Chain A
Amino acid sequence: MNEASELIAVKQIDNVVEELPVRDTAIAIREHIVEIVSDSGEGAQKCGQTLGILSAKMGNGVWTVEIIPAEIQPPARTPDGASGIRVRIGDSPMTNTGNDADLVVAFNEQVLRSRIGSHAYNDQTVVLLDNMWASDSDEKIRNQYADALLEFAECGLTVHELPIQEECLKVVPDPRKGKNMFVLGLLCHIYSRDTEKALAEISKIFARKSAKVVESNHALFNAGYAYAQRHIEIHYEIAAHSEPDHRMVVMNGNQAVGLGIMASGMELVAMYPITPATSASHFLADEFHSVGGFVHQAEDEIAAAGFAIGASYAGKTACTITSGPGIALKTEMIGLACMAEIPLVIIDVQRGGPSTGLPTKVEQSDLLATLFGAPGDSPKIILAAATISDCFHFVILARKLAESFRIPVFLLSDANLATGVQPFERPEVADDWFAAPIDQSPWDPKVLAYDWDEETGLSARPIPGMRGGEYVLTGLAHNRNAKIAYDATTNQVGSTMRSRKLAALADTLSPPEVHGDPEGDMLVIGWGSTLGTIEEAVDVARENGHKVSCIHLRFLSPLEPGLREICSRFKQVMTIELNYSDEIHASYINGETRRYAQLAQLLRAHTLLDIDCWSAVYGNPLQPGKISRVIIDRVIEVEGGK
């Protein structure tokens, strides 16, 4: 990754007097990580997304991660206000965010400081910084800029100052809106991107704006491209990976969730705005009508769940999309759906918590809340998407499971998947993915509303409109005939039947596949968006001679079968998660007081094995380099202790 940049001498741009000749010799590299950081509203994300989509369209592997401040207009030129994006582009499929960035374009020095604070860079990272602040009319800003440059030099960063603002001013009067397209032009030359495709993408972005807007953004792009051509010596090529034999689509996880809903045949989404889930509903607000669907923005999270449950009860299985705090509010409704056996799909795009927490940052902290959140015993199905492709396909699975098992189904996504862009095979939608038209044939009145099968707990469900099936759904303890019953056995029988459904489902699942050897010194277990990072980290550990393998869980309730047997083939087992756990050696922390990461807690109870964990809540996606060090250290520590 960084080897290539070492080979390249970067011209100190600010010293350039005469125009340099056009450079056209590009150096082939396998992959690069690019970051673009700006104040909020300067369009760094749009720039990076476009670079990502463009690269995917050129046949590269791509993974993007957005850097989003929690406020819409945080103070300008502050580290906390840093808004941006990281784009990892490679000649093979990219499965995670990668390690330190190779190239950074920063619109001001303060936002750059924020990323240095997040340990996103190292001394190999090439930084391109807008130099407009050096000559700012405000002395304070000039001094901040000069101080920051010294600070960057101290931490070993090589910073190249570029007259981005100055160059943009030659094209437009106010570069604050449009500088991002100039930078896109720069990057497109640096990485030998297809300019025609880039211009087409820009036209798409501004499709709703006037032709004049498109024109000026094209002009900015061209200016950036030409500037890089003449003044920047860094020039790379990243080959396309082998042409796939199927069509590919490129999108983020929330768009994939939205498309999955459309392909599942669900006709109703009831939601309340919450970050980072809402963009899925924005997408549906634009597109859902084309499959006859409707997005209901409810008055609150509870009403959104209630509305969806009402529609599901009436035969139209519905979906509600939310994030952690919304899950907390919907808990009573979800408990009702468990108790009364109403199919429901709940999509939880997880963010940092507890409480309002880190609304724009990634965490995997809702597992136990979704599993155990409702009072009483409230069994439900929980799926976790590991990839953007999963975000699409698991919605279809979730609807089918919800209806077949007459149960609420959670689909856990997270902020990383929600905003990350990744190409995947274009799904070939089949009409049997859609919900069947609701059954309105007469119901055999001899069949009770909860005619539980003794073995599986499953039962058929009368839908309003079915003559002879009239029953009163209730959240109170009820018997097979849906009648309220307070006698000694009714609640026991009902609870047993509702729980049995999970065991029946587990019976149909396969054990997870082991990545790496089937036995060894350590098994790493993960779930959710960390799949690519963990696999890459395990591969690094294996290359270093350690006997490490990993499995990744998609079903969290019920758990996939065979876990105890798989775990028992390894000397030690640890989960890697993005939620809180106590570090082993911290004060007061010992075998009794240590609080484990969420999946680790579940697995310890499930397998009766001493499963270890490593987890953290920095709000950043995990980096494979860091995780491989964690794994290797843990393996060595245990071996050394023997």
Chain B
Amino acid sequence: MFGLKSDWSVKANDRYFTLDDYSAAEPRWCTGCGDLAILASVHKVCRENQLLPENTVSVSGIGCSSRLPHYMKTYGFHGLHGRALPVACGVKSRRLDLDVWVATGDGDCFSIGAGHWIHALRYNMDMTVLVFDNGIYGLTKKQTSPTTPEAYQTNTHPGGAVLPPLNPLTITLGVTNISFVAQVVDWNTPLLYETIKAAHAHKGTSFVRIVQRCPVFMDVMNDELMDDPARFLLLNHEQGIPVPDGVSKMFESQADHDPNDLSAALGLANDRTKIPVGLLYRNPDAGIYNELSSQGLDFTSEDKLAGVNEALDKFLI
């Protein structure tokens, strides 16, 4: 497959990367875990775009999702619980040449890291943010997460989760300067791949909530969904996520949704009867913070010397 792209065009690079060039250690996720499908899609998008492994950085927090960097043969940063986003923003701030990915989970992003979630969306730095939302804390063994369904029994709420789950989509869509919001499920791999590919192609923070199976600790949320595809609403639009024909046939419910329409997106996010799948919102014109934070990257030593001397001279006696 040297140089052969999926559209049958050929690009003969000095270096051609195969899936193996992006795959590191054998994933240690459980059998049947949705994270495996996400990882495979990320590898494919990397290969499709022939990303330089040395210029690709995946940043994560803590949790099952956040093991992703270890399975990438790129640079990676497996940091602190909830803090993937500020670190990723810092990585991008002065290194526009780096392709930044963030892997986070429902506990990591929507609970302990919720403050950063809101603000990173406002910064809208150029990066791809994948939230692996399985509605449960997995790595610490079945505690209630912000998206755990109400009444679902967990180790912290043996009588059932006491609160209605948080809706990540309405919150995300409510943040100013948001530029790309999509939702997809891990078990529809063609659509998952297309969604991650579109997210990566978007300039700005692309936020993808991936409804993801945890076969060990969350047996209701996703099994029920998998058994009942009618619960989903596939969003179609020429500016949306490209949907392969075969995939389209899987969805009984479909809607034309203009992803430039924020009110319509909020309406879909608020609709409790259907789970939207596809691109809810995009705004390619939203301001991108790394364009500000990267100011002065072209300064030479002479420029810096002149700048600091001028500043010092203001204090001369």
Contacts and interface: CB of A to CB of B under 8 A. Distances in A.
The reply to whether chain A is a binding partner of chain B is: yes
B54 A465 contact: yes
Interface stretch (A123-131, A301-309, A623-631): A301-309
Contact of B312 (A259, A462, A467, A483): A259
Contacts of B297: 267, 292
B316 A270 contact: no
B54 A426 contact: no
A489 to B, nearest CB: 20
B95 interface: yes
B57 A307 contact: no
Interface of A: 56-57, 59, 247-251, 255, 259, 262-263, 265, 267-268, 270, 287, 289-294, 296, 298-300, 302-316, 318, 332-333, 336, 340, 423, 426-427, 429, 431, 434, 462, 464-476, 483-484
A429 B54 CA distance: 34
Interface string B79-94: 1100101111111111
Interface stretch (B42-50, B68-76, B152-160, B230-238): B68-76
Nearest to B62: A475
Interface in B85-132: 85-95, 97-98, 115-116, 118-119
Interface stretch (B252-260, B274-282, B288-296): B288-296
Contacts of B309: 429
B94 A267 contact: yes
A464 B90 contact: no
Interface string B130-162: 000000000000000000000000000000000
B303 interface: yes
B303 A291 contact: yes
B305 A429 contact: yes
A316 B94 contact: yes
Nearest to A431: B301
B8 interface: no
Contact of B308 (A263, A305, A318): A263
Given A306-B87, A464-B98, A259 B308 contact: yes
13 contacts: A247-B316, A255-B315, A262-B308, A268-B90, A270-B90, A294-B295, A299-B115, A303-B116, A313-B87, A429-B312, A431-B302, A475-B79, A483-B25
Contacts, number: 206
A443 B54 CA distance: 10
B79 A314 contact: no
B43 to A, nearest CB: 14
B317 interface: yes
B311 A262 contact: yes
Contacts of B315: 249-251, 255, 259, 426
A309 B90 contact: yes
Contact of B307 (A251, A292, A299, A427): A292
B196 interface: no
A514 to B, nearest CB: 31
B78 A474 contact: yes
Interface string B22-34: 0011000000000
B53 interface: yes
Contact of A426 (B86, B98, B305, B316): B316
A336 B299 contact: no
6 closest pairs, A vs B, by CB?
A310-B90, A292-B296, A292-B299, A306-B86, A472-B76, A290-B307
Contacts of A472: 24, 69-70, 72, 75-78
Interface of A is mostly: mixed
Given A311-B94, A465-B54, A471 B88 contact: no
Contact of A298 (B24, B86, B98): B86
Interface of B: 24-25, 52-55, 57, 59, 69-70, 72-80, 83, 85-95, 97-98, 115-116, 118-119, 292-299, 301-312, 315-317
Contact of B115 (A293, A303, A318): A303
Q: Quick one: which of A250, A305, A312, A314 has the most chain B CB within 10 A?
A: A314
A473 B80 contact: no
A466 B54 contact: yes
B76 A473 contact: yes
Given A56-B317, A250-B317, A294-B296, A470 B308 contact: no
A466 B74 CA distance: 11
Nearest to B93: A311
B95 to A, nearest CB: 4
B88 A310 contact: yes
Contact of A465 (B90, B98, B301): B98
B235 to A, nearest CB: 31
Contact of B317 (A247, A300, A315, A468): A247
A609 B51 CA distance: 60
Contacts of B118: 299
Q: Quick one: which of B59, B95, B119 has the most chain A CB within 10 A?
A: B95
Given A293-B296, A311-B94, 19 more contacts: A267-B297, A294-B93, A294-B293, A294-B296, A298-B119, A302-B116, A308-B90, A310-B88, A313-B87, A333-B80, A336-B79, A340-B79, A427-B312, A429-B309, A431-B305, A464-B91, A464-B98, A465-B54, A475-B79
A312 B91 CA distance: 8
A464 B317 contact: no
Contacts of A248: 316-317
A311 B53 CA distance: 19
A245 to B, nearest CB: 13
B78 A473 contact: yes
B66 to A, nearest CB: 10
A318 B94 CA distance: 10
Contacts of A316: 93-95
Contact of A314 (B98, B305, B310): B98
B315 to A, nearest CB: 4
B95 A315 contact: yes
A5 to B, nearest CB: 27
A313 B85 CA distance: 14
B307 A291 contact: yes
Nearest to B69: A472
A434 B293 contact: no
Contact of A57 (B298, B308, B317): B317
B70 A484 contact: yes
Given A299-B116, A470-B54, A290 B311 contact: yes
B307 A470 contact: no
B109 to A, nearest CB: 14
